[in-house]
Amino acid sequence: MEETPAPSSATNFIRDIIDADNESGRFDRRVHTRFPPEPNGYLHIGHAKSICLNFGLAIKYGGQCNLRFDDTNPTKEDVEYVDSIKEDVRWLGFQWDHLFYASDYFETIFRFAETLIAKGLAYVDSCSTDEIRQLRGTLTVHGKPGPWRDRTVAENLDLFRRMRAGEFPDGAHVLRAKIDLAHTNMNMRDPLLYRIRHAEHHRTGNTWCIYPLYDFTHGYSDSIERITHSICTLEFENHRPLYDWLIDVLELYHPQQIEFARLNLTHMMMSKRKLLELVETNSVSGWDDPRMPTLAGIRRRGYTPEAMRAFCDEIGVTKFNGLTEIVVLENAIRADLNKRSNRAMAVINPIKVVIDNYPDDLVEELEAVNNPEDPAAGTRLVPFSKVLYIERDDFMEIPAKQFFRLSPGREVRLRWGYLITCQSVVKDPSTDEIIELRCTYDPLTRGGNAPDGRKVKSTIHWVSAAHAMTAEVRLYDHLFKLADVSEIPEGEHWKNWLNPASLVVVPSAKLERSLATFKPGDRCQFERLGYFCVDKESTPGKPVFNRTVTLKDEWTKIQKKKGS
RNA sequence: UACCCGAUAGUGUAACGGUAGCACAACAGAUUUUGGUUCUGUUUGUCCAGGUUCGAAUCCUGGUCGGGUAACCA
């Protein structure tokens, strides 16, 4: 476990609220937050925003942050998710002060319900789901009281206890708060508090056959844990009056609920339901497919926790429901990896180069700098010989304007190697495809500098054919070709918008020898191409590298501009 | 057709009644043995209309636009 992340310097409206509360002494200057996921899926980048916010606030103010599993719906939840969520929070660099489960409070919450009944503020409703929906009214039409609303306290208490005792089947009764069926806020129209579910819970087993609903559980959990600021996303704004009502009628310790806008990213789908569908239909390889926005996915993709935290810091926290460009995320990981990644040479789309005037059997070990951003990273030796591979994109038989890489008659530098000049092009006579370049080198330019001081416009990467290792390289791109996935009309098949090129597998890229020692999770920069990491499926016999993100690429930009 | 919330450059955010800043993007240049990095510079903004005030992005009123809300989900 690394040390506690430094507190964020970014200010936001929630910090303003906390500052004001500390000023007034409202919570005795305590700050106690919580991150409350339901263990029904894998965490994604949106959750990272919430995690960084809640844990970050606790660090900033010297307070505490709990991890609490909101596990009130036994049919959707599983320990698999509990475990992955813990792992993800730790990976992001945070450690919770207390670990709780809402199910820890089931007995307490049951007693709260009895108290509510005793106060005449809750009743057992025996209507069907349909009837309840009918009587609740609509957004513009008031609801109406149902036939069971005026049961006596004794009758309600008796029925509720028998619900718990397992005397009734699922759906026979529910417990509802008695508030106001004509309320303009739908959440206040006698909200459901408990339902009967004869289902096994991943923690409480078969102890319970009634389970409290979110609204009835969440505020009480916050109150029990003496949370000061209960931070959630915008869609719970309309729940706050109920949150406050439930705590106030029982005269309990009252945390402050604060809502902020969830994260939306271009080219990304954040809906848990749709992510689950991608997994279940094998549109991706799993929850940790490197194209997924899950923390498991981006971790496998090669993202670092430092970059994720920097990103969350940069995007800020507001109540405005915006759409953040994915390049902001990409910029965060580039900035981090640029400083710490060693460089290596890898040729993804190779074309053979023969240095005609280089001795047939000579192999030279050339010194290469590991990381120009970090002198302490030192140097390594890379083998050079007569037959090399270079990137097919680094050669143009008829060079375009502004293309200053290799072409017939032109001299370029091989990184850490020699200056070479292309003398001729060998083509497959049947297909006309270029299969080989014949070049000459200048023996006086070892290391890359010419004694006469002449300059070349371009430096390209290469590997010695005889010494290269072969590896599978997986090139990842955006999962969705559409920037704003919320624009996909409801009902339209959203999977039509998946990017067919989101994964390009290169079966046999040619890699520099030094990469042979890399283990799964190891990261490096393939010079001029991007940042890569070794995939978990990689083995010594069949190495696999994932592209985390490309480098910025001026040449591709120039080409795109010309094309459009 | 109800209620709640929001609106600052292309995008995301800061300014808390007193000079509209920052990051990313874009554009131009310098440096560079990665068309990377770094550095310098440029372009672009307070949704609209009123009001309060010496002074409004900020406060008030009205409008416009956008988001949320009618699971026995969270």
Give the up-direction half-sphere exposure of residue A253: CA atoms within 13 A in the CB hemisphere: 15
- Please choose, from the candidates A330, A290, A296, A333, the residue with its C-alpha nearest in 3D space to the C-alpha of residue A90: A296
Q: Which of A9-18, A204-213, A481-490 has the highest mean pLDDT?
A: A204-213
In contact, A409 and A421? CB cutoff 8 Å: yes
Distance from residue A93's CA to nucleotide B20's C1', rounded to whole Å: 36
Residues A381-404 pLDDT 10s:
999 999 999 999 999 999 999 999
Residues A271-299 pLDDT 10s:
998 999 999 999 999 999 999 999 999 99
B72 C1': nearest CA residue: A195
The answer for residues whose C-beta is within 8 angstroms of residue A32's C-beta and 6 or more apart is A58, A63, A64, A65, A66, A225, A226, A227, A228, A229
Share of chain A above pLDDT 90, in %: 95
Pairing of strands A387-391, A411-414: unpaired
Residues A432-489 pLDDT 10s:
999 999 999 999 999 999 999 999 999 999 999 999 999 999 999 999 999 999 988 7
> Which of residues 131-170 of A have CB within 7 Å of strand B?
132-133, 136, 138-140, 170
Band of pLDDT at residue A1, cut at 50, 70 and 90: very low
Q: What pLDDT, on a 0 to 100 scale, did the predictor assign at position A455?
A: 94
In contact, A548 and A301? CB cutoff 8 Å: yes
Helix (H) or strand (E) holding A391: strand A387-391
**Which of chain B's bases lie under 7 Å from a protein CB?**
1-8, 10-16, 23-27, 33-38, 66-74
Instruction: Pick out the nucleotide with least CA–C1' distance to A214.
Output: B74
Residues A33-43 pLDDT 10s:
999 999 999 99
> Which of residues 7-26 of A have CB within 7 Å of strand B?
10-13, 16
Residue type, A500: P
The answer for residues whose C-beta is within 8 angstroms of residue A26's C-beta and 6 or more apart is none
The answer for residues whose C-beta is within 8 angstroms of residue A207's C-beta and 6 or more apart is A106, A201
Task: Please confirm, yes or no, whether A262 is among the known catalytic residues.
Answer: yes
* Sheet bearing A192-196, strands edge to edge: A122-125, A174-177, A192-196, A210-212
Distance from residue A319's CA to nucleotide B48's C1', rounded to whole Å: 22
- Please choose, from the candidates A75, A147, A81, A159, the residue with its C-alpha nearest in 3D space to the C-alpha of residue A117: A159
Counting beta carbons within 10 angstroms of the beta carbon of residue A501, is it exposed (0 to 12), middle (13 to 18) or buried (19 or more)?
Answer: exposed
* SS3 call for A258: strand
Distance from residue A557's CA to nucleotide B65's C1', rounded to whole Å: 35
Buried b (16+ CB within 10 A) or exposed e, A175-199: bbbbbebebeeebbbbbbbbbbbee
Task: Please confirm, yes or no, whether A277 is among the known catalytic residues.
Answer: no
Q: Does strand B come within 7 Å of the CB of A404?
A: yes
Residue type, A153: V
Task: Please confirm, yes or no, whether A38 is among the known catalytic residues.
Answer: yes
In contact, A194 and A113? CB cutoff 8 Å: yes
Beta bridge partners of A32: A64
Instruction: Pick out the nucleotide with least CA–C1' distance to A264.
Output: B12
Alpha carbons A274 and A91: distance in angstroms, whole number: 24
> Which of residues 306-365 of A have CB within 7 Å of strand B?
314-325, 327-328, 331, 334-335, 338, 343
Distance from residue A406's CA to nucleotide B63's C1', rounded to whole Å: 63
Beta bridge partners of A416: none
What value of ipTM does the predicted structure carry?
Answer: 0.96
Phi, psi of A445 (to 5 degrees): -110, 20
Which one of the listed residues A30, A86, A272, A340 is annotated catalytic? A272
- 3-state percent breakdown (helix, strand, coil) of chain A, nearest 5: 30, 25, 45
Share of chain A above pLDDT 70, in %: 99
Counting other chains too, the contacts that A23-30 makes at CB distance below 8 Å and 24 or more residues apart are A27/A228, A30/A63, A30/A226, A30/A228
Indicate yes or no: pTM above 0.90.
Answer: yes
Does the structure show a pLDDT above 50 at A177?
yes
Q: Does strand B come within 7 Å of the CB of A226?
A: no
Q: Does strand B come within 7 Å of the CB of A372?
A: yes
Band of pLDDT at residue A564, cut at 50, 70 and 90: low
- Please choose, from the candidates A108, A60, A103, the residue with its C-alpha nearest in 3D space to the C-alpha of residue A82: A103
* SS3 call for A239: helix
- Please choose, from the candidates A19, A16, A204, A189, the residue with its C-alpha nearest in 3D space to the C-alpha of residue A106: A204
Does the structure show a pLDDT above 60 at A71?
yes
Q: Does strand B come within 7 Å of the CB of A267?
A: no
Question: How many Å separate Cα A316 from the centre of its chain?
Answer: 16
